[in-house]
Structure 1
Amino acid sequence: MSTASHFSHSYNEARRRFLDAARRAGAVLSAHEHPLKGPDGETLATDIARIGPADARNILGIGSGTHGVEGYCGSGVQTALLSESFARNLPPDTALVLIHAINPYGFAFDRRVNEDNVDLNRNFLDHTKPHPENPGYEALFDAINPRDISPEALAESREKLKAYAEKHGHGAMQHALSAGQYTHPDGVQFGGLKPVWSNRTLRAILRAEMAAAARVVFVDIHSGLGARGAGEMICTDAEASGSFKRMRAWWGEIVRSTVDGDSISSNVPGSIPVCFAEELKGREVTAGGLEFGTVPIREVTVALQADNWLHQNGGHKNPKAREVAKLIRDAFYVDADDWKETVTAQTRDVCAAALRGLQS
């Protein structure tokens, strides 16, 4: 089968392909069913496929769908890896743990966020403490969350964002847009005010699947930032940290730190590596996001704005729902064979290098 044939056109299809490939690979399967149903009444779940010893000292984890709609990319890659020799040739004392559709609701409904309008990758923080502030977001609220998605409103939004960038710098504008916010539950990039279902579920999975290991590597597959098909391994630790040094030794120049400012991603609070550090204390944890570029950032921004507007105006019942769903899906998933092949090949190389690193 071609690599592209492992990618899907819906969450339901992606889940079926993933589970079928996992069974063929001899994986042990488990699932956490979501309390809500999908757009066609289908079951939503975060599925886990494990290959290798239950008491493995070393674990390589691969995640998909943290940002729901990005699951089209991550699920296809996971299914491709399960369907080839990669998943059947693990080193001794090593297990492969694939976590499929960490945010199944967002995946099924073609949203980046979850059922609570929460960006999951901003939710892994201590909600009993004051939440991080984002003054740039507050200043640009009307531009980031336009009144409608007419060409005029979007043009006005672009002008305001451009003016802010000219005054404060592109980095400040990107931080305002993408670093998350905790004051507007109905706005873009809301990080939530408590741990959401996917947060709690992922923590339970880590305790069940990875607590016995001494060394854990987690590659969380993302899409939407960067040049088309180009991969960057995003590290949320400083360059002086042990995790960054391991990542750079294994994966080379594709590793970039959000802390030291040379990543395509802003330094955001509450991302998935925080969860791994908290739940797997005492282990050597190397966790990062493998981000693949899709379309120009301007198109990604418009898609996020349109998605949030739709959420405020009837959601999937709005007559424009199908149009907006396609807009956001196209922003985070390139339905072209060459793109699917290159993101799969890069993930395969990253994971193979991680397995070699775990043996050193």
Structure 2
Amino acid sequence: MTAAQHFSQSYAEAREKFLEAARKAGAVLRHHEHPLKGPKGETLATDIARFGPEDASRILGIGSGTHGVEGYCGSGVQTALLVQGFQTRLPADTALVFIHGINPYGFAWDRRVNEDNVDLNRNFIDHSKPYPENPGYEELVDAINPPDLSPETMARSREIMRAYVQAHGHRALQHALSAGQYTHPNGVQFGGRKPVWSNVTLRRILREEMGRAERIAFVDIHSGLGERGKGEMICVEAEASPNCQRMRRWWGAKVRSAVDGGSVSSDVPGTVPVCFAEELHGKEVTAGGLEFGTVPIAEVTIALQSDNWLHQNGGHENPGAKEIAKRLRDAFYVNADDWKEMIFAQSLETCEEALAGLQAA
């Protein structure tokens, strides 16, 4: 039984496979239904599959689909873990909680963002305070969000970005492109101006599923950054922080700090680990994003630009919708068995190490 067969080609297929595997494994299932529907009128939901005691003092959570279309990667891993019996390895006083389709709208509609054009992994901030600024984005806003996708316009966009790199360096460009922004609701990487449905729902899930535990680990599976098939555990705190040091003890060299510049990710505000720290305040929380590389970053950037342009220009009614949606999916999901096997093996190892870490003194 290979892991690759447990990956899917649509949200509906992924959800069906996950729920079937969870039922066969004896999970306690809970569902948080989204108010909108999928492309074929199907139900959208964030689904929970729980194993182990309800009052367990230790919990390992495994998440998928924070960035919508990246759910193809995470859901496949979750389903393969279930089918291969990972849930049977739980130590005493330990629970396992799968959170499937954290952003089900983006997953179903092949978007990285949600129904509000919001990047969920930039939305977990205090919306009553001034928003983080991204001056690089403001300088490049017209190049990042081109008015059309003609070869001439896209070439000009790349030219402007190359000039920015020459002036400020590659890391500065990456930060401008990916660190989020709160001033252009129709632009790429918009973090939102209020807590969106998936934000509110995830917070509720954490309180209900993990609020009684004392030690919580969370592996949030992502894709799109880094070398093809290579995994990195992203820490959103500084290397010297107790949380990052604990992550290093558990996961070793695969841990990289986004704050200190050693990660494939920029230092990003409002991420899921922030949500865990807030909702589970006073607990020992060890949460990070397990990021898998797909295609070169230039292809990822063009896919995001194209997707954002599409949804300001007719969305799924646009004649180019299918082509652009496929471009985005291909940027975040490598539909090849070797890639699927690589990311599953690394995910399994990471989750095994998390279980061991939860038991350590």
Output the CA distance in 2 between the equivalents of 1:71 and 1:138: 30
Counterpart for residue 11 of structure 2 = 11
Q: Does 1:79 align with 2:79?
A: yes
Identity %: 74
Contiguous gaps of at least 5 residues in structure 1? none
Cα deviation 1:13-67 (Å, max 9, x = unaligned)? 0000000000111110001000000011100000000011000010000000000
Deviation at 1:165, TM superposition (A): 0.8
Counterpart for residue 96 of structure 1 = 96
Output the CA distance in 2 between the equivalents of 1:74 and 1:349: 15
Counterpart for residue 125 of structure 2 = 125
Greater CA deviation, 219-228 or 149-158? 149-158
The one-letter amino acid of 1:258's match is A
Counterpart for residue 307 of structure 1 = 307
Counterpart for residue 176 of structure 2 = 176
The one-letter amino acid of 1:60's match is L
Deviation at 1:246, TM superposition (A): 1.0
Output the CA distance in 1 between the equivalents of 2:67 and 2:265: 14
Output the CA distance in 2 between the equivalents of 1:22 and 1:257: 33
Deviation at 1:171, TM superposition (A): 1.0
Deviation at 1:85, TM superposition (A): 2.3
The one-letter amino acid of 2:354's match is A
* TM-score, length basis structure 2: 0.99
Counterpart for residue 199 of structure 1 = 199
Q: How does 1:278-297 map to 2 (within 5 A)?
A: 278-297=278-297
Output the CA distance in 2 between the equivalents of 1:332 and 1:320: 19
The one-letter amino acid of 1:185's match is P
Counterpart for residue 222 of structure 2 = 222
Deviation at 1:240, TM superposition (A): 1.0
How many pairs align? 360
Question: C-alpha root-mean-square deviation of aligned residues, in Å?
Answer: 0.6
Greater CA deviation, 64-73 or 313-322? 313-322
The one-letter amino acid of 2:98's match is L
The one-letter amino acid of 2:172's match is A
* TM-score, length basis structure 1: 0.99
Q: Does 1:232 align with 2:229?
A: no
Output the CA distance in 2 between the equivalents of 1:290 and 1:2: 21
Matched residue of 1:312: which SS? coil
Matched residue of 1:208: which SS? helix
The one-letter amino acid of 1:29's match is L
Q: How does 1:51-70 map to 2 (within 5 A)?
A: 51-70=51-70
Matched residue of 2:219: which SS? strand
Counterpart for residue 356 of structure 2 = 356
Output the CA distance in 2 between the equivalents of 1:250 and 1:281: 21
Counterpart for residue 156 of structure 2 = 156
Contiguous gaps of at least 5 residues in structure 2? none
Deviation at 1:317, TM superposition (A): 1.1
Counterpart for residue 268 of structure 2 = 268
Output the CA distance in 1 between the equivalents of 2:50 and 2:281: 21
Output the CA distance in 1 between the equivalents of 2:328 and 2:211: 36
